[in-house]
Amino acid sequence: MSAVLAVLMYATPLALAALGETVVQKAGVIHIGIEGTMLAGAFFAMLATLATGSPWVGLGVGVLVGVTLALVSGAFALTLTVDQVVVGTAVNLLALGLTRTLFAMRFGASGELLSVQKVPSWQGLDAVMVVAVLLAVATHGVLFRTSWGLALRAAGEYPQAAEAAGFSVLRLRFAALVFGGAMAGLGGAYLSLGIAGSFADNMTAGRGFLAIAMVTFGRWKPVPVLGACLLLGWLDGLQFTFQAKGVQLPFQLFLALPYVAALLVLAGMGRGAHAPAALAIPFRRTR
């Protein structure tokens, strides 16, 4: 497997979640629950594949889990206008608790080495990796080249305007949230079925939060967001290359670079950093 494909493989779960979150944030919603969504996706996808033997069913289940969590989150964050950060936190806690508990109860005692059918690949390239790359281009096209994308972005910049133009901000944001949930679920499923072929406790290890960071680093534009994810995957891999070659480098500082860079970009751009203006602000329709 070539090095390029290896980087792409490790970046794929992150990229899927980050691209989903890009659309969600463009619509004005910050959903920090994608960490939990990914974890739940990874776990239930693994269970489904274990039961059916088919990784495709597993990927489907991952998506389904993501959509379900997004609908519940939407009911609270959008319909009831509960604070988005609170809703996301609840999703994360619930997913972490649920997967850990179920995993320990089902597999904890046996100690059997859990191994499931992986997503089939050709020369190191598999369908999900292709989907992730195509998705970046497709979401870019939809967000910036269609009228629906314009409405969606309006919901994130100036929801009153979208509402006045005859769009339902609630529906737009729900659609974005469901898409984001589906992608985070798929990303999680790919983590267990594409990369690991197994499941481990808390296996996302902050990748959902990482995805949110990458959305910021890519400045809310799908193709740069994919680029940011690939850069991170490459840096991550470099760490092991350096170690193998015995290069002495404080690689932790090296790994902190993308986050420091993202903070500097945000600080440097100030309010012009292309963050959606109505991000995290609940929308209530006035009568």
Partner 1 sequence: MKKTLLPALGALLGLTLALVLTLVAFGMPVADSLGLIWEGSVGSSGGWMRTAVKATPLMLMGLGMAVAWRAGMYNIGGEGQFLAGALGGAAAAKLLSAVPALALKPLVLVSGFVWGGLFALIAGWLLVKRGVNVVISTILLNFVAIQLFEWALTGSLQEAKGRTPQTDRLPDAMMLFRFDRQNDLHSGVLIALVAVVVVYAILFLTPTGFRVRLAGENPQAARANRIPPARYQLIAMALSGGLCGLAASVEFLGITGQLAKGFNQQLGFIAIPVALLGNLHPVGVGLSAVYFGGLFAGSENLARFSNFGTTVMFVIQGTAVWAYVGVRTVLERRQLAGAEVES
Instruction: Using CB under 8 A, list all residues that contact partner 1.
Output: 30, 32, 76, 80-83, 85-87, 89-98, 100-102, 104-105, 108-109, 206, 209-210, 212-213, 216, 250, 252-253, 255-256, 259-260, 262-263, 266-267, 270-271, 273, 275, 279-280
Q: Which residue's CB is nearer to partner 1, number 79 or number 115?
A: 79
Q: Which residue's CB is nearer to partner 1, number 30 or number 48?
A: 30
Angstrom distance (rounded) from CA 137 to CA 226: 9
Give the residue among 160, 207, 219 at the shortest CA–CA distance from 25. Answer: 219
Pair of tokens at residue 81: 């206008």
Q: Is 122 helix (H, G, I), strand (E, B) or coil?
A: strand
Q: Which residue's CB is nearer to partner 1, number 4 or number 80?
A: 80
Angstrom distance (rounded) from CA 265 to CA 259: 10
- In the complex, minimum distance from the CB of residue 139 to partner 1, in angstroms, rounded to a whole number: 20
Cα–Cα distances in angstroms (integers) from residue 81 to residues 29, 108, 131, 281, in the given order = 11, 39, 33, 9
Q: What is the separation of C-alpha 241 from the centre of its chain, rounded to a whole number of angstroms?
A: 27
- In the complex, minimum distance from the CB of residue 2 to partner 1, in angstroms, rounded to a whole number: 28
Q: Which residue's CB is nearer to partner 1, number 76 or number 158?
A: 76
Pair of tokens at residue 229: 């994810």
- In the complex, minimum distance from the CB of residue 124 to partner 1, in angstroms, rounded to a whole number: 28
- In the complex, minimum distance from the CB of residue 181 to partner 1, in angstroms, rounded to a whole number: 16
- In the complex, minimum distance from the CB of residue 63 to partner 1, in angstroms, rounded to a whole number: 22
Bridge-based pairing state of the strands 121-122 and 125-126: antiparallel
- In the complex, minimum distance from the CB of residue 159 to partner 1, in angstroms, rounded to a whole number: 17
Q: Which residue's CB is nearer to partner 1, number 194 or number 222?
A: 222
Q: Which residue's CB is nearer to partner 1, number 101 or number 146?
A: 101
Pair of tokens at residue 220: 């809310």
Alpha helices in the chain (DSSP H): 3-26, 34-52, 55-74, 84-103, 127-145, 147-157, 159-164, 169-190, 207-217, 222-245, 251-269
